[in-house]
């Protein structure tokens, strides 16, 4: 067994020589222990230094000594005096102290930041009370060791510390002080803070007031310097913006009278400036006075704990439910305290990694109930702001102005990426940062405040959109079925005689028009405002090209039937047979005209979103507000001109189609055997379009009615066209069994031509012409009736 260690020598001896690659000139032997097997030597640093790393060497059995690790070094200790409020108006020390300690551990382990120094934190609980802080500051200044920097929190405490620190040549770096008074460089010449001044939020508040057109506001504040100076700055800014502070209330400890005065003065827009503990008192009184709801908007400070209104407080007699009801809808403004970007800063941690490490150090404490959790990144970055210094900081004392000036210059020029964002100080020593606006909605803070202004966007009825979308979807399926049927039976003579390629275009056009119903019903309820112009383009192109294909193919049929089969007999005999390319060329021309006109429209005057404003109206319920409804439209600078051109051109085509359909209603031809069905479809489409177009323009300000007319006209016209053109063909092929190809049809005994009404009609026409020639050759003869036709026939001789 090993016996007890006994000191060989307790007298410090110096080892100025280099051993193991490390100079030991700064080390001393603290003690030598004689063991049964070996010796061991413990080292300490000379002077007021501490050794970092292994500090013991052992004599091995082989007669050699263990080496001192290259990580071992002597570092001078530097002390930071800190005041963390663990309780009181703002108990920010609950999270800020662990955050600062975490930063100190990382700084001390880095060899590139203050490599010759070890930072140590000496801290006390100030309770966010200037009186308590006075006593603690005395202890920090008059108790060894000397502190090189002071780190207070709470504006009242920081004001006291910063004003006194100049007498001791001490730099003050605060992590949680927002008082505007602290920006006074004459009064606080050595003060810096990673938390910006509270006046940083006043321009944001004024802009919100202007955005929602509020011209009268009220204020209530706790009587402390931080809130008084903030309110003075707000009053100056509101005057410049033409906004009146009609009521200004203050309180020291009990806000009951101040809240009653706000109620009596009919305050609606209220800015509240007070600490968290007083905030619970205020809103307990707010609940009692019913000074909340949609008639009232509260603006509060954003650095309270997330669930500050749910924390049990013996100073109030309101339940959690009462407090939750009273604070609903309030707006907060605060700086962005956590870097939103996923980048590693000076501490080699991202903001997310910092939060994870802090949660581990807090030991499972609920962040929502932990004071200062939001400000913890500021305390962390405050430690990292102690950058590299050039002078021997161990020589600092309260009379050394040179080292203080160097520390001041280093902080004043600091610029680094921290877990709270980019850290940089302005000329007054305050942090520069962005402002975050949040509103409490349903017990959760959101970045999109709503219900605060006097506007409301009108959206399309989702029930109406759903019903029409279902019909449009079924119509697209019907169009696909008709298209498939036509392609599959393309070799059947009856289908071939109906010009199937034109019918395919009709089916595709109907499906495109039905698909346009979906973007026609999409509005700001479904997509972001920035995506609305794309939806406008889809509406225009799908509906425009769909109409051109569907109606254009039908118009082409009726045009050529009229051209070929309604002329005088002598001219018609000279006509050539109908060639398919002429049909396709006609559709191509109609489609090209639409395509070019739409393209020119979009290049010259593209569609964009416009907002129509309506007369203000009172909402349901006693909300004491007027809402100005807004409606979003797809429009362009010369919308009426473009619509006039398009509607005029389309209207002429519809009227011409009706005329041609009427003119060819009695024509029979085998080349286009479904032209009567086409004519019927043209009648329905033309009537629906000519009725719907002007109605939708008149009802454009009524989103539901306008959508209903436009979409249902599109749906019904597409359904009618598909049913009239394709269902009779399906019925004929199914009932008569005409599923064979043209070649089979010619070989079949008793060809279907014998049953074809058009063949009979042509035979009768030929016979009629022959009989008319005979009558002209033999004039004066008696007439008789043959084959059901009124013809002049020669009388036989008796």
3-class DSSP assignment, residue 470: helix
**Region 480-502 average pLDDT:** 85
Could you tell me the pLDDT band of residue 15, with boundaries at 50, 70 and 90? very low
DSSP 713-729: HHHHHHHHHHHHHHHHH
Place of tokens 């033409």: 242
Rounded CA gap, 173 and 96, in Å? 14
The reported pLDDT for the residue numbered 488 is: 87
**What Cα–Cα distance (Å) separates residue 353 from each residue in 104, 106, 350, 357?**
16, 14, 5, 6
Cβ partners under 8 Å of residue 589, min gap 6: none
Long-range residue pairs from 352-359, CB within 8 A, at least 24 positions apart, any chain: 354/380, 354/419, 357/102, 358/95, 358/98, 358/99, 358/102
The reported pLDDT for the residue numbered 743 is: 39
**Region 147-153 average pLDDT:** 95
Place of tokens 């160097």: 406
Task: Indicate the helix (H) or strand (E) that contains 5.
Answer: none
444 or 167, which is more confident?
167
pLDDT in tens, 428-447: 999 888 888 999 987 666 65
User: What does pTM read for this prediction?
Assistant: 0.52
**What Cα–Cα distance (Å) separates residue 323 from each residue in 73, 280, 284, 311, 333?**
56, 8, 6, 10, 20
pLDDT at 94 over 70: yes
Cβ partners under 8 Å of residue 317, min gap 6: 284
pLDDT at 646 over 60: yes
Give φ, ψ of 39 to 5 degrees.
-110, 155
Instruction: For Cα atoms 265, 266, 269, give the angle at the middle one, nearest 5 degrees.
Output: 110
The reported pLDDT for the residue numbered 24 is: 42
Rounded CA gap, 421 and 746, in Å? 85
pLDDT at 381 over 90: yes
Q: Which of 19-23, 278-282, 495-499, 527-531 has the lowest mean pLDDT?
A: 19-23
Q: Which of 17-26, 462-471, 602-611 has the lowest mean pLDDT?
A: 17-26
The reported pLDDT for the residue numbered 210 is: 93
The reported pLDDT for the residue numbered 528 is: 75
**Region 265-279 average pLDDT:** 94
CB of 384 closer than 8 Å to CB of 312: no
For CA atoms 561, 562, 568, 573, give the dihedral sign.
Answer: negative
79 or 795, which is more confident?
79
Q: Which of 3-7, 108-112, 242-246, 557-561 has the lowest mean pLDDT?
A: 3-7
The reported pLDDT for the residue numbered 781 is: 47
3-class DSSP assignment, residue 613: strand
For CA atoms 712, 718, 719, 721, give the dihedral sign.
Answer: positive
33 or 421, which is more confident?
421
CB of 403 closer than 8 Å to CB of 393: yes
Q: Which of 207-221, 235-249, 741-755 has the lowest mean pLDDT?
A: 741-755
The reported pLDDT for the residue numbered 43 is: 65
pLDDT in tens, 66-79: 665 545 567 888 99
Task: Indicate the helix (H) or strand (E) that contains 110.
Answer: none
Rounded CA gap, 406 and 426, in Å? 17
pLDDT at 794 over 80: no
The reported pLDDT for the residue numbered 761 is: 62
The reported pLDDT for the residue numbered 680 is: 84
Task: Indicate the helix (H) or strand (E) that contains 700.
Answer: none
Rounded CA gap, 2 and 40, in Å? 13
Could you tell me the pLDDT band of residue 792, with boundaries at 50, 70 and 90? very low
**Region 18-43 average pLDDT:** 49
pLDDT at 738 over 60: no
**What Cα–Cα distance (Å) separates residue 718 from each residue in 479, 491, 711?**
9, 26, 11
**What is the tally of helices (H) and strands (E) in the chain?**
23, 25
**Region 759-770 average pLDDT:** 68
Instruction: Please list, residue by residue across 29-68, b when 16 or more beta carbons sit within 10 angstroms of its beta carbon and e when fewer do.
Output: bbbbbeeeeeebbebebeeebebbeebebebeeeeeeeeb
pLDDT at 51 over 70: no
Rounded CA gap, 706 and 95, in Å? 57
The reported pLDDT for the residue numbered 755 is: 45
762 or 30, which is more confident?
762
Could you tell me the pLDDT band of residue 742, with boundaries at 50, 70 and 90? very low
The reported pLDDT for the residue numbered 53 is: 57
pLDDT in tens, 386-395: 765 555 788 8
Rounded CA gap, 542 and 535, in Å? 11
Could you tell me the pLDDT band of residue 633, with boundaries at 50, 70 and 90? confident
Could you tell me the pLDDT band of residue 135, with boundaries at 50, 70 and 90? very high
**Region 144-156 average pLDDT:** 93
Could you tell me the pLDDT band of residue 576, with boundaries at 50, 70 and 90? very low
pLDDT at 422 over 60: yes
Instruction: For Cα atoms 676, 477, 539, give the angle at the middle one, nearest 5 degrees.
Output: 90
- Residue positions counted in the chain: 798
Rounded CA gap, 597 and 604, in Å? 11
Rounded CA gap, 725 and 674, in Å? 7
**Region 269-291 average pLDDT:** 95
Mean pLDDT score of the chain, rounded to an integer? 80
Percentage of residues in the chain having pLDDT higher than 90: 34
Rounded CA gap, 761 and 787, in Å? 12
**DSSP-assigned letter for residue 198:** G
Could you tell me the pLDDT band of residue 22, with boundaries at 50, 70 and 90? very low
The reported pLDDT for the residue numbered 67 is: 66
**Region 501-514 average pLDDT:** 89
Rounded CA gap, 731 and 723, in Å? 11
pLDDT at 3 over 90: no
580 or 711, which is more confident?
711
**DSSP-assigned letter for residue 14:** B
Place of tokens 């490390």: 22
pLDDT in tens, 196-229: 898 889 999 999 999 988 999 999 999 988 899 9
**Region 662-674 average pLDDT:** 74
| 338 burial via Cβ count (<10 Å: 0-12, 13-18, 19+) | middle
459 or 341, which is more confident?
341
Could you tell me the pLDDT band of residue 623, with boundaries at 50, 70 and 90? low
**What Cα–Cα distance (Å) separates residue 88 from each residue in 13, 278, 527?**
52, 10, 47
Rounded CA gap, 609 and 635, in Å? 6
The reported pLDDT for the residue numbered 797 is: 38
Could you tell me the pLDDT band of residue 763, with boundaries at 50, 70 and 90? low
């Amino acid at each position: 067994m090993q016996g007890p260690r006994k000191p060989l020598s307790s007298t410090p001896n110096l080892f100025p020589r280099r051993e193991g690659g490390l100079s030991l000139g700064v080390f001393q032997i603290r003690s030598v222990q004689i063991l049964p097997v070996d010796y061991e030597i413990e080292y300490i640093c000379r002077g007021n230094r501490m050794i970092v790393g292994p500090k013991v060497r052992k004599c091995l059995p082989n007669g050699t000594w263990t080496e001192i690790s290259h990580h071992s070094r002597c570092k001078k200790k530097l002390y930071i005096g800190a005041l963390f409020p663990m309780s009181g108006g703002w108990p920010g020390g609950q999270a800020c102290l662990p955050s600062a300690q975490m930063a100190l551990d990382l700084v001390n382990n880095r060899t590139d930041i203050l490599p010759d120094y070890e930072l140590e934190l000496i801290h006390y609980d100030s309770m966010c009370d200037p009186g308590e802080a006075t006593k603690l500051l005395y202890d920090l200044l008059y108790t060894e060791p000397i502190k090189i920097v002071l780190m207070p929190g709470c504006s009242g405490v920081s004001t006291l510390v910063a004003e006194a620190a100049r007498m001791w040549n001490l730099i003050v770096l605060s992590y949680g002080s927002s008082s505007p008074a602290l920006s006074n460089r004459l009064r606080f010449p050595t003060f810096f803070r990673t938390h910006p001044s509270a006046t940083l939020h006043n321009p944001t508040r004024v802009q919100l007031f202007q955005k929602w057109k509020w011209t009268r506001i009220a204020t209530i504040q706790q009587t402390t310097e931080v809130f008084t100076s903030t309110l003075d700055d707000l009053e100056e800014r509101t005057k410049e913006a033409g906004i009146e502070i009609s009521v200004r209330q203050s309180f020291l400890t009990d806000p009951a009278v101040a809240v009653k005065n706000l109620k009596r003065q009919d305050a609606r827009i209220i800015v509240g400036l007070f600490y968290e503990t007083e905030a619970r008192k205020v809103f307990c009184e707010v609940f009692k006075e019913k000074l909340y709801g949609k008639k009232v908007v509260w603006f509060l400070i954003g650095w309270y704990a997330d669930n500050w209104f749910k924390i049990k407080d013996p100073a109030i007699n309101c339940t959690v439910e009462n407090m939750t009801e009273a604070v609903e809808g309030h707006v907060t403004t605060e700086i962005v305290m956590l870097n939103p970007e996923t980048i590693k800063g000076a501490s080699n941690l991202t903001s997310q990694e910092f939060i994870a490490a802090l949660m581990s150090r807090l030991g499972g404490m609920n962040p929502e109930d932990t004071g200062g959790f939001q400000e913890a990144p500021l305390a962390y970055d405050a430690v990292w702001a102690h950058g590299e210094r050039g002078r021997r900081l161990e020589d600092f004392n309260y009379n050394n102005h040179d080292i203080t000036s160097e520390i001041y210059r280093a902080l004043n020029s600091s610029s680094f990426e921290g877990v709270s964002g980019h850290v940089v100080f302005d000329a007054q020593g305050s942090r520069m940062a962005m402002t975050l606006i949040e509103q409490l909605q349903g017990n959760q803070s959101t970045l999109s405040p709503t219900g605060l202004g006097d506007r409301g966007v009108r959206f399309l009825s989702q029930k109406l959109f759903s019903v029409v979308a279902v019909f449009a979807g079924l119509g697209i399926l019907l169009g696909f079925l008709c298209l498939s049927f036509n392609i599959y039976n393309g070799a059947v003579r009856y289908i071939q005689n109906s010009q199937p390629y034109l019918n395919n275009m009709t089916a595709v056009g109907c499906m495109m028009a039905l698909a346009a119903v979906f973007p026609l019903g999409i509005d700001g309820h479904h997509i972001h405002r920035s995506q609305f112009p794309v939806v406008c383009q889809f509406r225009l192109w799908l509906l425009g090209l769909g109409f051109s294909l569907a109606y254009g193919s039908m118009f082409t049929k009726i045009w050529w039937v009229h051209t070929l089969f309604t002329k005088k007999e002598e001219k018609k005999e000279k006509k050539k047979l109908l060639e398919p390319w002429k049909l396709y060329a006609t559709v191509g021309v109609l489609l090209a005209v639409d395509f070019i006109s739409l393209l020119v429209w979009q290049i010259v005057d593209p569609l964009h979103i416009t907002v129509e404003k309506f007369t203000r109206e009172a909402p349901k319920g006693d909300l004491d507000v007027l809402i100005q409804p807004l409606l979003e439209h797809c429009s362009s600078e010369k919308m009426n001109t473009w619509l006039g051109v398009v509607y005029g051109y389309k209207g002429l085509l519809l009227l011409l189609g009706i005329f041609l359909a009427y003119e060819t209603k009695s024509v029979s031809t085998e080349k286009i055997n479904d032209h009567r069905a086409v004519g019927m479809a043209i009648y329905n489409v033309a009537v629906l379009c000519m009725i719907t177009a002007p109605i939708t323009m008149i009802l454009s300000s009524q989103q539901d009615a306008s959508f209903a007319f436009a979409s249902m006209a599109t749906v019904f016209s597409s359904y009618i066209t598909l049913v009239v053109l394709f269902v009779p063909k399906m019925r004929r092929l199914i009932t008569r069994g005409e599923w064979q190809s043209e070649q089979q049809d010619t070989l079949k005994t008793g060809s279907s031509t014998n049953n074809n009404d058009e063949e009979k009609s042509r035979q009768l026409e030929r016979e009629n012409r022959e009989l008319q020639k005979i009558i002209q050759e033999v004039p004066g003869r008696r007439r008789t009736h043959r084959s059901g036709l009124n013809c002049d026939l020669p009388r036989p001789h008796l």
